[in-house]
Amino acid sequence: MRVLGIDPGLTRCGVGIVDVQADRRATLVDVTVIRTPPGMALEERLLAVGNGIERLLDQHLPAVVAIERVFAQHNLRTVMGTAQVSGVALHSAAKRGLPVALHTPSEVKAAITGYGSADKRQVQAMVARILGLAEAPKPADAADALAIAICHAWRGGPVAADAGGATDTALTPAQQAWRAAERSSRTSAVPRRLAR
């Protein structure tokens, strides 16, 4: 399965593409960072990031797009830019009919290192090791985008399972736990929706 991972950011947007086999072996396809200068008008920055993402989507034809989920930060300006870039990425994927998965930073860290509070250096080292690279791609946004893509493939989400034919028994214990939690949250959400 080919996954395009995005670490959204307005100044630096990391984009990494990996091919992941059913046995979890991952191969680097491409990685880059789309940059925009802070002095540029917001709409022009978003256009530049969107054009860069669309170019990579059309060039590499991923099966799914995985994006780091925006979470609350103390710096409102940073979180707004991240959210805006996430929206541009969601739009680009939807235009192409691609499924999108959102993963929190702790999900990504846990999938890559086995520890949800791992630091950036640990994640970067594991990304390099998983992909068989001499060193992690730089800057950190590039390695983070690859980690997001690998996380999605390894989590065994619905798209990954359908594409690779994996069943719950073919998943690791962590993937089975994630799958069970996802089912549980979907089941418990149904009555609330019907009650409205």
AA letter at 184: S
- The answer, yes or no, to whether the previous bond of 173 is cis (omega within 30 of 0) is no
Any idea which residues carry the catalytic annotation?
A: 7, 68, 141
C-alpha to C-alpha distances, 121 to 22, 71, 94, 136, 153, nearest whole angstrom: 27, 21, 33, 9, 21
Residue 111 · residue 153 · CB < 8 Å: no
172 backbone dihedrals φ, ψ, rounded to 5°: -70, 165
Burial of residue 79 (number of CB atoms within 10 Å: 0-12, 13-18, 19+): middle
AA letter at 67: I
